Structure 1
Amino acid sequence: MNYALVTGGSRGIGRAVCTQLAGMGYFVLINYQSNDEEAEKTLQLVRDQGGDGELLKFDITDAAAAFATLSAWMEGHAGAYIEVLINNAGIRKDNLMLWMTGEEWTRVLDTSLNGFFHVTQPLLKNMLVKRFGRIVNIVSLSGIKGTAGQTNYSASKGGIIAATKALAQEVAKKNVTVNAIAPGFIRTDMTEDMNEAEWKKVIPAGRFGEPEEVAALVGFLVSPAAGYITGEVISINGGLYT
C-alpha cells in the first residue's frame, strides 16, 4: 500500500488534494488541528473516490505532538512508509506591519515554517532509505511577489520557497523530489472574505481558481512522470503574476 500525508487536509485545497491522491490509489493520512467534523467529511470524500484513509489530529506547530504522532504511526506500520508529503497547512493573520502584533507574526510563521520542519524532518529518512519520495509544499503568490498587509504570510511562504530549493538539492540523488506550488486566488474559505467580483477584474483569466485545479497539479508532481522536476516553484494564478 502507498501512503500519502496531507497537512491541513480537512478543508479547501487540502481536502481537494486528499481526494486527488485517493483517486490515484494512495491511502491518505489526513492531518488537521481541530475541526473534527470537516476532517470526517474529507475522509468520506476520500472513500467516495474508492480509496481509504485515516485522520491524524495534531498541531503541526507543536514539535513534540508532531513527532509523537508520526513516530506512533511508523511503529504501527512496520515495513511501510509515507512516500508522499503535501505540506499544505497554513493560516492568514493579515495586518499592516505598523499594526501587526507579535502573535500575528509568530503564529503565521510557526504554522508555515516550523510546521514544515516538524512534519518533513521525521519522514525524510524513510524516503531516502527507500529511494523514493515526493514532497510538495503549498506556498502562495504572496511568497513570490509579496502582498501588502501580509508581511507575515509573505515571509512564511517565501521561507518555504527557499527551503524547497535547498532541500531539493540535498535529496535529489535518492529519487526524492521537493517542489512548491504557488496558488493565486483559489475559491476556498481562506479567500471567502475577499471581494471576488473586484479581484476578477485584475486576474487575466477572469476568475478565481478551484481547489481541484491545484490538486491536479499536485497529482502530476507526485507521479513518476515528474521525477526529473525538483526544486521548482510552479505558479497557478490565472496569469495574475508571472
Structure 2
Amino acid sequence: MLKELSAGFCLKAFLAELIATFLFVFVGLGSTLSWSLGIPTVLQIAFTFGLGIGTMVQAVGHISGAHINPAVSIALLVGARISLVQTFFYIIAQMLGAVIGAALLSEFVSPEIKGGFGVNQPSNNVTSGQALAIEIVLTFQLVLCIFASTDSQRSDNIGSPAISIGLSVVLGHLLGIYYTGCSMNPARSFGPALITGNFEYHWIFWVGPITGAILACLVYDYLFVPYSISSSERMEILRGNMQENEKEERRKQSVGLNSLYSQSNHKEKV
C-alpha cells in the first residue's frame, strides 16, 4: 500500500495543484467582498473566477493538468484518465490550497468588508433541491467543456483550452450566482466555509458538482467520443501502472476503431 502511494505521488504536480487552487480561491473570494466601492457586480465576480481559472490552467496545465477542482479530478478518475492514488493526492492539494487562500484573504481584510466571505449558500428563496440541480447542471457544462477542449484526438482548431475553460466558469457564474453563489468546485466552497465555520447547506456543493462532473464524463466518453478500453486496462490506469504515453496510445486506438466502425456502418446504409 505504501509503495503504491509513493509511486502515485508527484511532488511537482501536488504543489502545482495546491498553489493554483490557493491563487484561484484567493482572487475569486476577493472579488466577492464588499469594498468601499460598494457591492460587487455579477460581472465582476464571474470574470474574476473565470480569468482566475483560465490563468491557472495556462500556468500549471502542463505540470499537473490544472484540475483545481475535486469534481474534475473525480470525473477524470471515473473516465480512467488518472489513477486512484493521483486523485487522492490532488484532492488533498486542492483542499489545502483552498483553505490557505481563504485564510490568508481573511487576514488581509477587516470584518466589515468580509460580509458573507463568499460562502456558497442557496439564495433568493431557492430550495435545497433547486440549488443542487443548478450545481449539477453548471458543473456538467464546465466538465463537458474541459473534456472536449483538452481532447488530444480532436483534429479541428479548438483554440485555447485555457480560454475555453475560463469562459465556461464565467458562464456558470452569470447564472449560478443568483441561485447558490455558484460553486462548481467543492474546494472553492470548502475554503471559506471552514474559515467562517459556516457549513450550512455545504453538502450541496459536494454532491452537486461531483454528480454533474461524473455525468459529463459519462456523456463524453460513452455518447460523444466513446472511450472503449478493456476492464483490465482500466484497472491498470486506476492503479497507476500505465504510463501517460500508453494511455494516450490506447485512447487513439479506441477512437480510431470507433471511427472505422462508424464509417463501415455508413457505407452499409448507403
TM, length-normalised to structure 1: 0.34
Q: Which has the larger radius of gyration?
A: 2
- Bigger share in helix: 2
- Bigger share in strand: 1
Higher relative contact order, chain-length normalized (CA < 8 Å, sep 6+): 2
